[in-house]
Amino acid sequence: MKSFKSLSHCQFSCKYHVIWCPKYRRKVLIGTIAVRLKELLTIKAKELNVEILESELMPDHVHLLLDTLPTEAIGTIIGRLKGYTSKNLRAEFPELKRRLPTLWTNSYFVSTVGGVTLNVLKQYIENQKNK
């Protein structure tokens, strides 16, 4: 049975796969920078009431699997994670300021993560009147 979270007025599962890159796709997410980035993401996610279910840092991009409330906009969450980590990493690692005008690109990828395929869900909705 699939587990859902609940609030007083709804049951939900709001999971997102998120990817973003450093400016110019520079391979700067290595060593102590990568370690600190994971720490900062954990700190900010907790503050935002977002659970990081999985994360992987590649030298030139970030992958996160996030679980959040349905009342929170994923774009706002991503913006806050990127802003917080950029500010702190650039303050702690001056070489990032020398190599990049900003740490992150303005863009990102986000996709919802569900328990069934789109076709299964469409079929389920189509068959509601037949029950």
User: Residue 81 belongs to a domain with what CATH number?
Assistant: 3.30.70.1290
Max Cα distance, the chain (Å):
64
Contact 33, 90 (CB under 8 A): no
Task: Provide the residue range defining the domain that includes 27.
Answer: 11-130
| pLDDT higher than 80, residue 125 | no
Q: List pLDDT tens digits, range 36-83.
A: 999 999 999 999 999 999 999 999 999 999 999 999 999 999 999 999
Number of independent structural domains in the chain: 1
User: Which listed residue (16, 24, 108, 124) is catalytic?
Assistant: 124
How many Å from the N-terminal Cα to the C-terminal Cα in the chain? 21
- DSSP bridge partners of 12: 5
Is there a domain that residue 6 lies in? Answer: no
Is there a domain that residue 3 lies in? Answer: no
16 is catalytic: no
Phi/psi for 45 (5° steps) reads -60, -45
Q: Model pTM?
A: 0.89
